[in-house]
Structure 1
Amino acid sequence: MATKKTSSSATKETTTRTTRKRGAKAQKKPVKRSLSTDLIPIEEETWLLQPIAVTMMRHDYSLIQVRILVSVVESLQTILHGILNNKRSQELSLFRTDELDEDGRLPVKLPFKELGVDPNHYPQLRNSLKMLASIPIEIPYKTAEGRKYTKATNLCDVYIPDDHSYNKYAILKLDRGVAERLVSLDFGYHRLGKQIVFACKNRYTQRIYMFIESWLDKGRAVIKTLEFRKMLRLENNYKKFSDFCRRVLEPAKAELKELADKGFCDCYFEYDKKYDNGQRGGEPDELVFRIYKPANQLDSQLEQVTDMQRKQFAQMLIRYFSFIPANAEKIASRITADTYNEAMQKLVELRQRFQTTYVKDKAAYTYKTLDSLIKDHEVPNTKVEEMK
């Protein structure tokens, strides 16, 4: 009569058989084989416009789920640029009727092949997609008066066709309130490299890249350690700060530096710990990120984008700030890839201020504000013409 095997012995035997059958290949972790390792040179990068509200959104997404989030942001680019160019507004309607489903929600179609997952691992991808419907997220809000809130919700509902057609895809349906937050510019916005996010092999690297990218034009970012933990949903993990450094900060730092050195990322970082009460160890009160651009970064594509951005910038000055064309072109000609995001954010802030505060000469006030902002980035002795 056959002897019944215990669970542990059966598992051991199964493992042994698998090892004999596959040899060295059995030592590899499946997750590594499921991710695309294709890297895109920085000059061929797909640059997205990402709201700070999305960057600072708190969630516990996996590597693939962060990719999905970035793909959702990519699908919203037309809407985001419409808002940026003042062709859409909260007062009128952020979304056109044909962009919403009959239930009032915003659908986003995501083909599986665009998420960088090997077809053999589509079952795991489906599971990652389904989990988006239940994983909680916290999205920051800021009112016109400057008061801040946090909304706890989930990103979307997920619909995956049951048929086994060649074109695999999922449809994510975002509640209107969530969709409005994903395109909100009330905290500002920044540039984001889609392929850079996809190239990361560590989910914390993805999140930290987004964070430092939003501060790239400043070259430095300071954040309270607790807020940084909350952003990564690590308030209760790696309680010992040395573990937090070893498992989160150091791997991200090394990975981004390697990508940057090889020409696949536009920034990397170093970090310092800041203590308010003279401590020498333990959990710091703040983290200070020093953000660098790689020496081998190619800027040809960015300069082409900047030419287009300068024209858009000048058009906004004429349309909304009463500039004459000559003065609009004069200030716009001084905008660079490094200053564009900050200058556009300043225009958003000024428009909000002018709605509640009377300013006699909006054009002169705006010119003086932008001139001061741009001078901070310009080299000494740069000649600047005064606005007439």
Structure 2
Amino acid sequence: MAKANNKKEMTGKTTTKKTIRKRGAKAQKAPVKRGISNDLIPIEEETWLLQPIAVTMMRHDYSLIQVRILVSIVESLQSILHGILNNKRGFQLDLFQTDELDEDGRMPIKLPFKELGVDPNHYPQLRNSLKMLASIPVEIPYKTAEGRKYTKATNLCDVYIPEDRSYNKYAILKLDHTVAERLVSLDFGYHRLGKQIVFACKNRYTQRIYMFIESWVEKGRTVIKTIDFRKMLRLENNYKKFSDFCRRVLDPAMQELKELSEKGFCDCYFEYDKKYDHGQRGGEPDELIFVIYRTKDKMNVQLQEMTQTQRRQFQQYLVQYFDFTPVNAQQMADRITAETYQEAVQKLMSLRDRFASSFVKDKAAYTFKSLDDLLKSKEIPNTVVEEVQ
């Protein structure tokens, strides 16, 4: 119980209430009411990050504040991630620049305490949370060039905290080269992530489930095996009774994200259903079905309008330069999202250069295959990871 209270203290001020227990009586927990602050960042001013699916599906048992630290690390890697998307970086090119690594080949990240949304009175607990990052195990999914999937068991980073009590308090996180590579790997795809939304969550499971549904928001729905979902949250051995799992994990996250969405602080929320494959009427389902809803706000309306404009432009490119019929061009363009538009256009430009220098009998078929392979890799984030024995 003390551990849980520490986590709650670190995210803001709390009030204590004196309670009297009757001797011999069974203690009853008071209902927890988590109010949503009106000082949160409205969705129109959200800081959107590009997050690899490999990070979203990483298995760990981080606390609320440690998930914030993870998101802050992803934020510090944005220039590298965008460089990879724009083909300016990659494993064939220089993935990391010399000045981004230390002499030992590790990547240092400076993390000011004030950027983590923790009251200065709780910096001692923050230091402990940072130190624990060096020992908490994580499992990061990765995929070989041949398409074989594995998990890499490791820890996220080493942590260096200056001993001096200077005004500018910070920590230095050092990522091993291989871990840094996984945190910027796009081999499973990527999605956008709202930094302030993660910081606004009062429940660590809400943070994780928000990341998960954000990776599927374009589809509006996803199905995942219950055991894989438990593994992602490191809850294989907790809340064995599924009604407890719903009461302690799924239902609070569903309610919190819906409340944040209704108040304009989150771009999506979800509902879930249980799927049984063998005619069961209760107990642990074989799969969980997540239905994901977009929040109706100005920003999402603008994003949808922008995506429709991009799709029309993309359709025109296909008809004008790649011999698509209008119907086939529209079918392909309808698969384009705001996240994939730029990369798909770059693919068209490279194909156009290739066609100009070499003869291709059926440009439409060749282009369709290239785009289909590209979009399939982005459309279905991989939620099933093969275990390494």
Tell me the TM-score normalised to structure 1 length: 0.75
- Aligned: 1:243 with 2:241: no
- Write out per-residue CA displacement over residues 63-101 of structure 1, whole angstroms, 9 at most, x where no aligned residue: 000000000000000000000111001122210111000
Structure-2 residue corresponding to 1:184: 185
Report deviation, 1:340: 2.8
Report deviation, 1:36: 8.8
Structure-1 residue corresponding to 2:130: 129
- Tell me which amino acid in the other structure corresponds to 1:280: R
- Tell me which amino acid in the other structure corresponds to 1:76: L
- Aligned: 1:77 with 2:78: yes
Structure-2 residue corresponding to 1:227: 228
Report deviation, 1:306: 6.4
- Aligned: 1:139 with 2:140: yes
Structure-1 residue corresponding to 2:385: none
- Write out per-residue CA displacement over residues 363-382 of structure 1, whole angstroms, 9 at most, x where no aligned residue: 634643559999xxxxxxxx
- Unaligned 5+ residue runs, structure 2? 1-13, 19-32, 349-358, 376-389
Cα separation, partners in 2 of 1:120 and 1:301, compared to 1, 3 Å: farther
Cα separation, partners in 2 of 1:122 and 1:361, compared to 1, 3 Å: farther
| Count, aligned residues | 328
- Unaligned 5+ residue runs, structure 1? 1-23, 351-358, 375-388
Conservation of the 8 A alpha-carbon contact between 2:85 and 2:343: no
Conservation of the 8 A alpha-carbon contact between 1:157 and 1:172: yes
Where 1:109 maps in the other structure, the secondary structure is strand
Cα separation, partners in 2 of 1:217 and 1:348, compared to 1, 3 Å: farther
Alignment partners' CA distance in 1, 2:336 and 2:41: 22
- Tell me which amino acid in the other structure corresponds to 2:281: R
Structure-2 residue corresponding to 1:96: 97
Report deviation, 1:263: 0.6
Conservation of the 8 A alpha-carbon contact between 2:66 and 2:130: yes
Structure-2 residue corresponding to 1:10: none
Structure-1 residue corresponding to 2:16: 26
Structure-2 residue corresponding to 1:87: 88
Report deviation, 1:145: 1.3
Report deviation, 1:38: 3.9
Report deviation, 1:294: 1.6
Alignment partners' CA distance in 2, 1:190 and 1:135: 25
- Aligned: 1:368 with 2:358: no
Report deviation, 1:144: 1.5
Structure-2 residue corresponding to 1:212: 213
Alignment partners' CA distance in 1, 2:308 and 2:96: 28
Cα separation, partners in 2 of 1:250 and 1:109, compared to 1, 3 Å: same
Cα separation, partners in 2 of 1:218 and 1:63, compared to 1, 3 Å: same
Structure-2 residue corresponding to 1:378: none
Structure-2 residue corresponding to 1:340: 338
Where 2:222 maps in the other structure, the secondary structure is strand
Structure-2 residue corresponding to 1:57: 58
Alignment partners' CA distance in 2, 1:105 and 1:160: 17
Alignment partners' CA distance in 2, 1:64 and 1:74: 15
- Tell me which amino acid in the other structure corresponds to 2:338: Y
Report deviation, 1:326: 6.3
Q: Which runs of 4+ in 1 moved over 2 A?
A: 24-28, 35-38, 295-310, 323-328, 334-338, 340-350, 359-374
Alignment partners' CA distance in 2, 1:305 and 1:122: 42
**Percent of paired sites with the same residue:** 74
Conservation of the 8 A alpha-carbon contact between 1:70 and 1:194: yes
Where 1:282 maps in the other structure, the secondary structure is coil
- Aligned: 1:157 with 2:155: no
- Write out per-residue CA displacement over residues 28-83 of structure 1, whole angstroms, 9 at most, x where no aligned residue: 9xxx99x9984111110000000000000000000000000000000000000000
Conservation of the 8 A alpha-carbon contact between 1:36 and 1:116: no
Alignment partners' CA distance in 2, 1:122 and 1:300: 40
Of the two structures, which has the highest relative contact order with CA contacts closer than 8 Å and spacing of 6 or more? 2
Where 1:140 maps in the other structure, the secondary structure is strand
Conservation of the 8 A alpha-carbon contact between 1:241 and 1:282: yes
Where 1:222 maps in the other structure, the secondary structure is strand
Structure-2 residue corresponding to 1:355: none
Alignment partners' CA distance in 2, 1:361 and 1:79: 38
- Write out per-residue CA displacement over residues 203-243 of structure 1, whole angstroms, 9 at most, x where no aligned residue: 00000000000000000011000000000000000000000
Report deviation, 1:153: 0.2
Alignment partners' CA distance in 2, 1:371 and 1:229: 32
Structure-2 residue corresponding to 1:260: 261
Q: Which moved more, 1:195-204 or 1:365-374?
A: 365-374
Structure-2 residue corresponding to 1:11: none
Where 2:164 maps in the other structure, the secondary structure is coil
Cα separation, partners in 2 of 1:342 and 1:87, compared to 1, 3 Å: closer
Conservation of the 8 A alpha-carbon contact between 1:36 and 1:118: no
Structure-1 residue corresponding to 2:28: none
Where 1:125 maps in the other structure, the secondary structure is helix
Report deviation, 1:143: 1.0
- Tell me which amino acid in the other structure corresponds to 1:368: F
- Tell me which amino acid in the other structure corresponds to 2:240: K
Report deviation, 1:300: 6.8
Cα separation, partners in 2 of 1:128 and 1:348, compared to 1, 3 Å: farther
Alignment partners' CA distance in 1, 2:192 and 2:295: 17
Report deviation, 1:304: 9.9
Alignment partners' CA distance in 2, 1:366 and 1:180: 32
- Write out per-residue CA displacement over residues 93-116 of structure 1, whole angstroms, 9 at most, x where no aligned residue: 210111000110000110000000
